[in-house]
Chains A and B, each alone.
Chain A
Amino acid sequence: MKRVLWILPVIVAGALLSLPKITAQQQQDDLRKQIGTIIVTPGAGPSLAVADFQSRASGVDGAAATFNEVLWNDLKFAGITNLVGKSLYPKTKLADPASLKYDEWANDPVKSDYVAFGSITGANSAQGYLYDVKTQSQLLTASLAGDGREMAHQFADQIVKLLTGQDGIAQSKIAYIANREVFMMDYDGFGARQFTRDGSIALFPSLSVDGKRLAYVSYRSGFPNVVVRSEDGLIIGSTQFKGTTTSPSVAPDGRIVFSSSKDGDSMELFVANEDGSGAKKLTRGRSVNISPRWNPKTGREIAFVSDRGGSPQIYIIGADGTNERPLLSLGGQMDSPAWSPDGRFIAFTWDGGGGGFHVYLADVASGQVLRLTREGRNENPTWSPDSRHIAFQSNRSGRWEIWAMHIDGSEARQLTRTGGRSPSWSK
């Protein structure tokens, strides 16, 4: 009996010690459950069959092959429906509505809710359709123009818009750093093109929400300063500081926030007009305040990293410099907060208290946290315009490359092949 009594406190202590872990796990599960309503997981949600587009002109087989591959990848990565495998499709070619037999697509083995199909009608033209095979109704007819990739992106976005009411991301772009310059690429890693030719060092590119402005740090003046360019590359303005300046972010109204030691002070946050003029200091203190990111939905708050509590943690401050408060204090080192375009989440980098840097997700209101990456070192997350995907830099392939994934951490895909850092994703 005495032995039992001796064990009892040990059991109680063990149970108490395990409580926080259970709570943290429950939080992760809860957040994962919520995210599960945003990204369609296999077996859940509506299903979509995507029949190969048929060539209806000579010499367009190549364009058709590209179109079909890109459209499939776009819709798969969109994560709004379950794509029905092509091996299950009827053998009859489907190029126009007259050939559509609803039963073939609605019943076994396809059992799809929707079917997308169409034809490549010329070197740069196509006709696409989307049908609801359960209700036997046409949802979309689209006349597409451009090369194979462009037309596929257009059609994918139209399907996403129709089925979700949200704009698709297939025609969005990502800015990133390679070879000390800013580059741009399509959201799927294709079409990379050099955007800046400063001939110095470019860092921290940040696209505005509408994609019409790019702010980045350039050493072209001799000192690192924020430069703002329009989407066609013209310089709108720049700061004229002589200290260290880093990580600009563009507000919905065009203002920029950045971190700078200005003329040798400590690293503080500044807000300036879109041309870099009228810089106003937001934070005051001896701590390091860096990596500011606007809430792109409201433009009223800024998330940033500060070591005022001892280690770098994420804080929030009002755009007028008031109402500073910690958002997350998990210990370890945090960096690169990125606010989702819908204002709901903040993605960030955290070493998990010494477990290697990975990308995490936090619900801004509840503070619930979810780990998204597990391979290699992962940094600098950035959100897709639809708040359903995240791009980041990772060295999991052996060197720093840009990757993208769903916001539940699934469907990770490598976007760059020749190196890339600091992605910024926008329309």
Chain B
Amino acid sequence: MKSFKIRLALCLIVIALPLTAIAQSKEQKEKIDRMAAQLEELKTELILVQRQTQAMQDTFNKTMGELNTLIVQMGDNIAAVRRAQSAISTNTTDTSGQISAMGERVTATNSRMERLSEQFASLRKLIEDIPKMPTFTQLTPGNAEQLFAAAYSDYSRGNFDLALSEFKQYVETFPSSELADNAQYWIAEILLAQRKPVEAIAELEKVAQVNPQGDKTALALYKRATLLLEAGKKEEAVAQFLVIIKGYEKSNEAALATQQLQQIAPEALAPPPAPQPEKTPVRKKKP
């Protein structure tokens, strides 16, 4: 009987075990399903969070953009205020300039030099932005020799507009320097290179005004004379050649001017007629 009970118990256990397993499996499945559902919910929440983050990012970007715009506008406003201040300052300087003309000239010169320096800086920046293009040497405001070298370098490199402004700047800034007449001469040369002979004639005339005894003066006058000749103004040209021959007789240009006159107006080279000796009346001796 006892063994029967044991067998029965065993049978019940054997039957109950799969049922329990089935029950547990069902429970686990339900758990997994719940977890999956929770995961889906989490995913959805994550997407929502992502969207919210994106929306926040967009808002942030927009705000930053607006802020940047505001900063730029503020910068512009500040620049405008500074310009206004600068204008006021300039007016003040002008007023002061009436008191001290020398001070004004110095200020203006410095200002021009700074502007020129800025122009060069921007130009240099442009050139530097092109990889490995030749660059200019650093220009020091107030350095006459450097400015002249930069101007001639630009002339030599065919940068005529730039060279023209540099030589003009040189003449304005250093009018009494040894190279001022040279700079004035090169202004005319550049205008010739730009096929502007009328302007060149006017600028060549200024060379003698800058320095009547400069090393480029006779050359400038000779060039002026040849240009006048080419322009059909023979009388003016002849007069100019004669000025060179008389005023700069030892120069190479005087020899060239003589050659020119021998061809176009040899009569201009003819020596003036020798003065006739005055006939003195013969006094009759008193008897």
A residues neighboring B (CB under 8 Å):
30, 34, 37-40, 45-46, 79-80, 163-166, 295, 297-298, 300-301, 320, 322-324, 342-344, 363-366, 387
Question: Does the CB pair B130–A164 fall under 8 Å?
Answer: yes
Q: Which one of A38, A295, A298, A363 has the highest number of Cβ atoms from chain B below 10 Å of its Cβ?
A: A298
CB of A301 within 8 A of CB of B132, answer no
Residue of B nearest to A301 (CB): B156
Check B157–A342 contact: CB distance below 8 A: yes
A344-B153 in contact (CB<8A): yes
Contact of A34 with B131 at beta-carbon distance under 8 Å, contacts A297-B158, A344-B156, A365-B152 already known = no
With an 8 A cutoff between CB atoms, is B116 at the interface?
no
Q: With A37-B135, A165-B130, A343-B157 known to touch, is A300 a contact of B193 (CB < 8 Å)?
A: yes
B189 at the interface (CB under 8 A from A): yes
- Given the interface contacts A30-B137, A39-B132, A301-B156, does A322 sit within 8 Å of B222 by beta carbon? yes
In the bound complex, CA of A80 to CA of B156 (Å): 24
Shortest distance from the beta carbon of A166 to any chain B beta carbon, whole Å = 7
What per-residue 1/0 map shows which CB atoms of B245-279 lie under 8 Å from chain A?
00000001100100000000000000000000000
Q: Which 5 pairs of residues, A with B, have the shortest CB-CB distance?
A: A365-B153, A343-B157, A365-B149, A343-B156, A297-B158
Which A residue's beta carbon lies closest to that of B150?
Answer: A365
Give B contacts to A, CB under 8 Å. Answer: 130-135, 137, 149-150, 152-153, 155-158, 189, 193, 216, 219, 222-223, 226, 252-253, 256
Min CB distance, B183 to chain A, in Å?
A: 13
Q: Shortest distance in angstroms between A222's beta carbon and chain B's nearest beta carbon?
A: 33
A366 to B139, CA, bound (A): 13
B149, B156, B193: most-surrounded residue (chain A CB, <10 A): B156
CA distance A301 to B190 in the complex (A): 12
27 of the cross-chain contacts (CB-CB < 8 Å) are A30-B137, A37-B134, A37-B135, A38-B134, A40-B132, A45-B131, A45-B132, A164-B133, A297-B156, A297-B157, A297-B158, A298-B156, A300-B189, A300-B193, A320-B226, A322-B219, A323-B216, A323-B219, A343-B156, A343-B157, A343-B158, A344-B157, A364-B152, A365-B152, A365-B156, A366-B153, A387-B134
CA gap between A297 and B252 in the complex, in Å: 28
Which chain A positions have C-beta within 8 A of B226? Answer: 320
Chain A residue, CB-CB nearest to B155: A298
**Cross-chain contact of B156 among A163, A166, A364, A387 (Cβ < 8 A):** A364
Interchain CA distance A365-B179 in the complex, whole Å:
13
B78 to chain A, nearest CB (A): 33
CA distance A38 to B253 in the complex (A): 40
Residue of B155, B216, B222, B256 with most chain A CB atoms under a 10 A cut-off: B155
A38 & B132 in contact (Cβ 8 Å cutoff) = yes
Other CB < 8 Å A-B pairs besides A38-B134, A80-B132, A297-B158, 17 of them? A34-B134, A34-B135, A39-B132, A79-B132, A163-B131, A165-B133, A295-B156, A298-B193, A300-B193, A301-B156, A320-B226, A322-B223, A342-B134, A343-B156, A344-B157, A363-B153, A364-B156
A166 touches B133 (CB 8 A): yes
What residue in chain A is nearest B156 (Cβ atoms)? Answer: A343
Of all chain A residues, the one with the shortest Cβ separation from B153 is: A365
**A34–B253 Cα gap in the complex (Å)?**
38
Give B193's nearest chain A residue, CB to CB: A300
Chain A residues lying within 8 Å of B223, measured Cβ to Cβ, are 322
Q: Given A298-B158, A322-B223, does the pair A46, B153 have CB atoms closer than 8 Å? A: no
* Complex CA–CA separation, A298 to B159 (angstroms): 9
Residues of A within 8 A of B149 (CB): 365-366
Residue in chain B with minimal CB distance to A40: B132
Chain B residues lying within 8 Å of A30, measured Cβ to Cβ, are 137
A165 to B127, CA, bound (A): 11
| Cα A423 to Cα B72 with chains together (Å) | 58
- A36 → chain B closest CB, angstroms: 10
Nearest-neighbour CB distance to chain A for B263, whole angstroms, equals 14
* Interface pair B189/A46, CB less than 8 Å apart: no
- Return the contact of A344 from the options B134, B216, B219 (Cβ within 8 A): B134
Complex: A30 Cα to B253 Cα, angstroms: 37
Set of chain A residues within 8 Å of B253, measured between Cβ atoms: 322
Question: A298 — which chain B residues lie within 8 A by C-beta?
Answer: 155-158, 193
State the CA gap A59–B97 with chains docked (Å).
83
- When distances are taken between beta carbons in the complex, the residues of chain A under 8 Å from B158 are 297-298, 343
Inter-chain CA distance A37–B134, complex, in Å, is 6
A320 to B256, CA, bound (A): 12
Chain A min CB distance to B67 (Å): 27
